[in-house]
């Protein structure tokens, strides 16, 4: 299988700290890969570098054979890389439906760059039949995506996102990312702050996305879930890759156990860390 | 060479005065995270208190300074307690808007009490000058330098060695942590406002003495100069504010030497824009990046907009069109005509500030561009208003967007400051580009509106024309708001990072918003120019920009009908009740203060 996304020697320093240190990994088309590691290992920084929100000091990110590490975030999104955020960044004053529709922004015909801003404005104001059909198609897609979350979001389609519960905001983020019809989906701790029922529900949904063939890179602390879902797992510590391989291999790797236990291991249990 | 030294001395003296202002602004920004737009008002009040003390009590200079410091210190503490403390935890722009409201109130009070006319501020200082290498230094220069340096030293000692000084620095670094360590942060805020205002008041007194001239209009420029100095030094950085002030004073002084006095402010604001674009953290704020927080630049109070049924809106519009038949008095029609023109401005602002979240404090600059474009086309190039007005709209759209373009990457307070400066720059360029704009003379004899051979001059015709323009823009804007562009603007307002991550090119959409808004404002300015028949660089001033902000907030940010309601309420009502005309600015200030405090979502709710 050809790699859809390759990361080579990716490095990001903040002052004296090297948050991501010469990181290498790759994700094949249709593969489910997870990044795990203790807090501060550089997982979210890696996502920021891959999605164009931060600039790498060195190294490269190839997506579909093309270097993207210097591209603006919006260009990377337009290539088909969607992401969610660790702490949730929904558009608070937009309705649930509008939030999801922003996800479909790059696929609106009226926004195509060659049209030029003035033409885009004219189309939005005049709204000929083709634009109306485009709007309607995106909206029915958005409703279908929201429906995947059962009755969690559907009854709240018109509610402003700031009125949603924390778990629902996380769901909405994933719905918004799916509306981009991504070729690569980056999920940053999708179940953070969720109770066991909600986590199980989310795991089922992510499993479903995987079965549909979506390529997914997951950051997650809930290791049971990671082990069940992933084809391969990369383990990070201090910005460096310390282990890689299928879940069963990684689980028993002494370096991983050491990283999760901490170097002294005093008073900390791996389960406690994993449950964070 | 002689004059070089004189200009240098002058620059340093003025820089010292700016420093007294800017240090206060920096201190306040440090502890309260706020640019205090009422600071210039305190400065003006300081000058007037000093004038009153000298005139009525015949106080000697040292006593006068003491009285001014005490009075302004008390005023500062009162400002903090009454207007700002209740706003803790609100949107970061809320206290800033409150200080704008407060400055309206204080300035108008000064004007009502002391009359708007300038006054002389006589100084009893000996009449000698020391020559230094061809230039000379007088007692006034020495006094200002002395007060400046000794206040800086006192302030340094206070911040460095006293317990309260420690508390101030701790609060500036981390308010919550300071509170948890037992620092009375409200007390710290209060003390800082008192100190800052005492310095600001003394600064006003010294400037009044230096120029032997005080007037109530000096407030706004003082605030702006202080803000420029603070941005140059790095917002919130006290030593930076002093260096920034001296740099600003010297730049202005050399600018005057090279180009003349009317260029002075142009230099100040050009310096501000340069720093905002190139070095937004200032000279000394380099380490901390401009923070990227969502929802700081906006004033979007979570609320559900009041849903007014379209039939009601349509009925209101029809009623407005039919009004001239029921209301023959031309005066009332003129009042409403002004409201419709203000409504266009408010619509324009509510799009960029409300829907797109780019708080603009310089929107009157767009009116000026539109007004001058149409006026110059009609007078100097003989273009008929039928053509010149829409062309002015397009010119404003393009030029306005191009001017704001460098500020697109700024956030929060910075975009507000940048747009304020851009508005001032527009006015100053108009003042100085004499060969094209007629400079300070203004444009006279602008022809009335006309379509082909039909002149639109009667009160009724003008009323209908402006109302039609307003309704047309409101409909277009509603159409825009319901399109994917409206949604995209609201998304980037709420969270730029998330919007970019979903493929939104934020620069493109900000430009679209400013372009669309610029057209409406430009047309409003152009129509106004033909109605007034005369324009100068002060026809559309910063106060109008801030009034537009108040209108948009009153109606509800981003709310289209709200913008019209806000314009009618703030422009139409005070004029309709003539007795209130004298108190207009006072009313605006009180309305703004009350809104920010009690109904941030405005009358009709934010969208």
Q: Look up the CATH number of the domain holding residue A53.
A: 3.40.50.300
Is A101's CB within 8 Å of B484's CB? yes
Q: Give the pLDDT of residue B391.
A: 98
Do B388 and B253 share a structural domain? no
How many independent structural domains does chain B possess?
2
Is A83's CB within 8 Å of B480's CB? no
Asked, for residue A144, whether it belongs to a domain, the answer is: no
Q: Which of residues 105-144 of A touch B (CB under 8 A)?
A: 105-106, 108, 110-111, 117-118, 120-121, 124-125, 127, 135
Q: Give the pLDDT of residue A110.
A: 75
Q: Which of B401, B474, B498, B516 to mutate to test the interface with A (most CBs of A within 10 A)?
A: B498
How many CB atoms are located within 10 Å of the residue B571 CB? 24
Q: State the residue range of the domain holding A22.
A: 3-90+164-274
Asked, for residue A158, whether it belongs to a domain, the answer is: no
A187 contacts on B by Cβ (under 8 Å) = none
Largest Cα–Cα distance in chain B? 78
* Smallest CA–CA distance from B483 into chain A, residue: A124
Is B485's CB within 8 Å of A120's CB? yes
The residue assigned the tokens 């730029």 is B496
For B578, residues 6+ apart whose C-beta sits below 8 A from its C-beta are none
Do B263 and B325 share a structural domain? no
Bin B212: left if φ > 0, else alpha if -120 < ψ < 50, else beta: left
Confidence of residue A44 (pLDDT cuts 50, 70, 90): very high
How many CB atoms are located within 10 Å of the residue B130 CB? 11
| DSSP per position, B466-502 | HHHHHHHHHHHHHHHHTSHHHHHHHHHHH-HHHHHHT
Residue in B597, B598, B585, B575 with CA at minimum distance from that of residue B547? B585
B606 contacts on A by Cβ (under 8 Å) = 93
| A160 in contact with chain B, both atoms CB, cutoff 8 A | yes
Residue in B350, B394, B334 with CA at minimum distance from that of residue B526? B394
Distance from A160 to chain B by nearest Cα, in Å? 9
* Tokens standing for residue B354: 């409300």
Element (H, E) at A245: strand A240-245
Segment A198-208, tens digit of pLDDT: 999 999 999 99
Do B356 and B229 share a structural domain? no
Residue of A98, A121, A176 lying closest to B512 (CB–CB):
A121
Asked, for residue A111, whether it belongs to a domain, the answer is: no
Do B318 and B264 share a structural domain? no
Distance from A208 to chain B by nearest Cα, in Å? 22
| A176 in contact with chain B, both atoms CB, cutoff 8 A | yes
B483 contacts on A by Cβ (under 8 Å) = 124-125, 127
| A73 in contact with chain B, both atoms CB, cutoff 8 A | yes
Asked, for residue B50, whether it belongs to a domain, the answer is: yes
When pLDDT is averaged across residues A228-254 and rounded to a whole number, the result is 93
Alpha-carbon distances, residue A95 vs A154, A156, B100, B503 (angstroms): 12, 8, 32, 19
Asked, for residue B436, whether it belongs to a domain, the answer is: yes
Q: State the residue range of the domain holding B331.
A: 310-598
End-to-end alpha carbon distance in chain B: 60
Q: Which of A15, A76, A79, A102 to mutate to test the interface with B (most CBs of B within 10 A)?
A: A102
Is A180's CB within 8 Å of B503's CB? yes
Asked, for residue A71, whether it belongs to a domain, the answer is: yes
Residue in A33, B380, B242 with CA at minimum distance from that of residue B388? B380
Is A125's CB within 8 Å of B490's CB? no
Residue of B493, B495, B508 lying closest to A89 (CB–CB):
B495
DSSP, res A264: S
Asked, for residue A139, whether it belongs to a domain, the answer is: no
Do B262 and B316 share a structural domain? no
Element (H, E) at B204: helix B185-211
User: Hey, is B513 helix, strand or coil?
Assistant: helix
Q: Which of B91, B501, B510, B519 to mutate to test the interface with A (most CBs of A within 10 A)?
A: B501
Residue in B281, B276, B115, B84 with CA at minimum distance from that of residue B197? B84
* Tokens standing for residue A27: 């994700």
Largest Cα–Cα distance in chain A? 68
Is B300's CB within 8 Å of A98's CB? no
End-to-end alpha carbon distance in chain A: 34
Identify the bridge partners of residue A61 per DSSP, sorted by sequence position: A7
Asked, for residue A64, whether it belongs to a domain, the answer is: yes
Do B579 and B466 share a structural domain? yes
User: Hey, is A59 helix, strand or coil?
Assistant: strand
* Smallest CA–CA distance from A77 into chain B, residue: B503
Q: Give the pLDDT of residue B183.
A: 92
CB burial class (10 A; 0-12, 13-18, 19+) of residue A38? Answer: middle
Q: Give the pLDDT of residue B244.
A: 94
Q: Which of A117, A133, A159, A188 to mutate to test the interface with B (most CBs of B within 10 A)?
A: A117
Number of cross-chain residue pairs from A and B with Cβ atoms under 8 Å apart: 107
Length of chain A: 276
Residue in B529, B389, B519 with CA at minimum distance from that of residue B451? B389
| DSSP per position, A11-25 | EEEETTEEEEEEEEE
Distance from A193 to chain B by nearest Cα, in Å? 20
Segment B384-432, tens digit of pLDDT: 999 999 999 999 999 999 999 999 988 778 889 999 999 999 999 999 9
| A178 in contact with chain B, both atoms CB, cutoff 8 A | no
Residue of B300, B498, B511 lying closest to A93 (CB–CB):
B300
Is A93's CB within 8 Å of B516's CB? no
Element (H, E) at A186: strand A184-188
Do B533 and B428 share a structural domain? yes
| A91 in contact with chain B, both atoms CB, cutoff 8 A | yes
Confidence of residue A197 (pLDDT cuts 50, 70, 90): very high
Do B328 and B255 share a structural domain? no
Is A73's CB within 8 Å of B500's CB? yes
Residue of A105, A117, A135 lying closest to B504 (CB–CB):
A105
Asked, for residue B7, whether it belongs to a domain, the answer is: yes
Is A89's CB within 8 Å of B503's CB? no
CATH value at residue B366: 1.10.3470
Q: Give the pLDDT of residue B606.
A: 85
The rounded distance, in Å, linking the Cα atoms of B202 and A170 is 54
**Are the C-beta atoms of B293 and B413 separated by less than 8 Å?**
no
DSSP, res A110: G
Is A101's CB within 8 Å of B294's CB? no
Asked, for residue B293, whether it belongs to a domain, the answer is: no
Q: Give the pLDDT of residue B375.
A: 97
Do B100 and B182 share a structural domain? yes
**Are the C-beta atoms of B396 and B519 separated by less than 8 Å?**
yes
* Tokens standing for residue B531: 């109605």
Question: What residues of chain B score a pLDDT lower than 50?
Answer: 1, 287-298
Do B343 and B256 share a structural domain? no
Asked, for residue A156, whether it belongs to a domain, the answer is: no
Q: Give the pLDDT of residue B302.
A: 64
* Tokens standing for residue B406: 């460098």
Do B238 and B338 share a structural domain? no
Asked, for residue B284, whether it belongs to a domain, the answer is: no
How many independent structural domains does chain A possess?
1
Distance from A212 to chain B by nearest Cα, in Å? 22
The rounded distance, in Å, linking the Cα atoms of B135 and A200 is 82
Asked, for residue B604, whether it belongs to a domain, the answer is: no
Asked, for residue B283, whether it belongs to a domain, the answer is: no
Is A72's CB within 8 Å of B500's CB? yes
| Final residue in a domain of this structure, among B254, B278, B302 | B278
What's this model's pTM, rounded to 2 decimal places?
0.92
The dihedral through the CA atoms of A49, A52, A58, A63 has a sign that is positive
* Smallest CA–CA distance from B300 into chain A, residue: A93
B484 contacts on A by Cβ (under 8 Å) = 101, 105, 108, 110-111, 124, 135
When pLDDT is averaged across residues A61-90 and rounded to a whole number, the result is 94
Is A89's CB within 8 Å of B498's CB? yes
Q: Give the pLDDT of residue B129.
A: 78
The rounded distance, in Å, linking the Cα atoms of B466 and B485 is 27
The dihedral through the CA atoms of B442, B444, B448, B453 has a sign that is negative
Do B558 and B452 share a structural domain? yes
Q: Give the pLDDT of residue B286.
A: 52
Contacts by A19-22 with C-beta closer than 8 Å and gap 24+? Answer: A19/A45, A19/A239, A20/A45, A20/A46, A20/A49, A20/A56, A20/A239, A21/A238, A21/A239, A21/A240, A22/A59, A22/A240
User: Hey, is B99 helix, strand or coil?
Assistant: helix
């Amino acid at each position: 299988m050809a790699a859809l996304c390759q990361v080579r020697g990716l490095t990001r320093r903040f002052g004296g700290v090297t948050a991501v240190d010469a990181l290498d990994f790759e994700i094949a088309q249709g593969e489910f890969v997870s990044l795990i590691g203790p807090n501060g290992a550089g997982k979210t920084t890696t996502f920021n570098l891959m999605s164009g929100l931060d600039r790498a000091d060195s190294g490269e990110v190839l997506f579909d054979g093309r270097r993207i590490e210097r591209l603006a975030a919006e260009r990377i999104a337009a290539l088909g890389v969607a992401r969610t955020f660790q702490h949730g960044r929904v558009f608070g004053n937009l309705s649930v439906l509008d939030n999801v529709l922003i996800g479909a922004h790059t696929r609106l015909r009226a926004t195509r760059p060659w049209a030029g801003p003035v033409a885009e404005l004219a189309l939005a104001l005049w709204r000929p039949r083709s634009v109306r059909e485009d709007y309607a198609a995106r909206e029915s897609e958005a409703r279908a995506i929201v429906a995947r979350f059962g009755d969690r979001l559907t009854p709240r389609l018109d509610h402003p996102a700031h009125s949603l519960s924390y778990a629902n905001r996380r769901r909405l983020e994933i719905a918004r990312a799916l509306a981009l019809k991504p070729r690569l989906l980056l999920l940053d701790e999708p179940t953070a702050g969720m109770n066991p029922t909600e986590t199980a529900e989310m795991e089922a949904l992510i499993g479903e996305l995987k079965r549909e063939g979506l390529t997914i890179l997951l950051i997650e602390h809930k290791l049971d879930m990671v082990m069940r879902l992933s084809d391969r797992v990369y383990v990070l510590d201090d910005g460096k890759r310390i282990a890689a391989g299928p879940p069963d291999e990684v689980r028993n790797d002494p370096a991983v156990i050491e990283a999760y236990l901490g170097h002294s291991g005093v008073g900390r249990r791996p389960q406690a860390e994993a449950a964070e | 060479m002689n004059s070089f030294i004189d200009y240098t001395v002058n620059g340093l003296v003025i820089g010292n005065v700016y420093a007294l202002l800017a240090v206060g602004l920096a201190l306040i920004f440090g502890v309260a995270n706020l640019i205090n737009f009422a600071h210039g008002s305190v400065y003006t009040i300081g000058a007037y208190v000093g004038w009153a003390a000298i005139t009525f009590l015949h106080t000697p200079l040292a006593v006068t300074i003491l009285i001014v410091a005490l009075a302004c210190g008390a005023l500062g503490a009162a400002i903090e307690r009454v207007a700002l403390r209740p706003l803790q935890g609100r949107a970061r722009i809320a206290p800033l808007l409150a200080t704008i409201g407060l400055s309206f109130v204080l300035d108008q009070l000064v004007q009502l009490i002391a009359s708007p006319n300038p006054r002389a501020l006589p100084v009893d200082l000996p009449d000698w000058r020391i020559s230094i290498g061809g230039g000379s230094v007088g007692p006034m220069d020495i006094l200002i330098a002395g007060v400046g340096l000794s206040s800086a030293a006192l302030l340094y000692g206070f911040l460095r060695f006293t317990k309260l000084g420690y508390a101030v620095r701790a609060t500036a670094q981390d308010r919550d942590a300071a509170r948890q360590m037992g620092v009375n942060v409200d007390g710290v805020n209060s003390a800082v406002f008192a100190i800052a205002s005492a310095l600001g008041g003394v600064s006003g007194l010294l400037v009044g003495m230096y120029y032997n001239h005080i007037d109530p209009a000096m407030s706004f420029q003082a605030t702006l100069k202080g803000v420029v100095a603070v941005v140059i030094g790095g917002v919130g950085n006290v030593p930076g504010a002093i260096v920034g002030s001296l740099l600003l004073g010297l730049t202005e002084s050399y600018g005057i030497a090279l180009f003349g006095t009317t260029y002075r402010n142009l230099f100040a604001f050009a310096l501000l824009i340069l720093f905002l674009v190139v070095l937004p953290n200032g000279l000394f704020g380099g380490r901390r990046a401009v923070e990227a927080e969502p929802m700081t630049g906006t004033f979007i109070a979570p609320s559900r907009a009041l849903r007014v049924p379209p039939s009601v809106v349509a009925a209101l519009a029809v009623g407005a069109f039919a009004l001239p038949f029921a209301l023959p008095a031309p005066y009332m029609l003129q009042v409403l005509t002004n409201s419709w023109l203000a409504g266009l401005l408010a619509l324009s602002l509510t799009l960029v500030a409300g829907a797109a979240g780019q708080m603009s404090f310089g929107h009157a600059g767009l009116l000026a561009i539109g007004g001058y474009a149409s006026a110059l086309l009609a007078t100097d190039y003989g273009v008929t208003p039928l053509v010149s007005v829409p062309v002015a709209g397009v010119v404003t759209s393009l030029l306005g967007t191009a001017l704001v373009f460098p500020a697109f990457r700024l956030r929060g307070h910075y975009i507000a400051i940048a747009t304020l400066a851009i508005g001032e720059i527009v006015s100053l360029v108009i003042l100085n580009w004499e060969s094209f704009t007629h400079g300070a003379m203004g444009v006279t004899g602008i022809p009335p509106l006309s379509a082909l051979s039909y002149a639109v001059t009667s009160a009724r015709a003008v009323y209908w024309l402006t109302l039609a323009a307003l309704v047309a823009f409101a409909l277009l804007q509603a159409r825009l708001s319901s399109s994917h562009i409206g949604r995209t603007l609201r998304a980037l307002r709420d969270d730029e990072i998330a919007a970019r991550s979903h493929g939104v090119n934020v620069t493109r959409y900000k430009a679209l918003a400013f372009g669309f808004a610029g057209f409406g404002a430009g047309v409003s300015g152009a129509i106004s120019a033909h109605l007034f028949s005369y324009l100068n660089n002060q026809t559309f001033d910063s106060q109008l920009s801030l009034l537009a902000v108040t209108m948009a907030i009153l109606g509800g940010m981003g709310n289209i009908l709200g913008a019209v309601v806000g314009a009618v309420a703030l422009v139409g009502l005070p004029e309709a009740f003539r007795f209130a005309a004298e108190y207009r600015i006072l009313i605006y200030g009180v309305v703004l203060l009350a809104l920010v405090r009690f109904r941030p979502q405005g009358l009709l709710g934010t969208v």
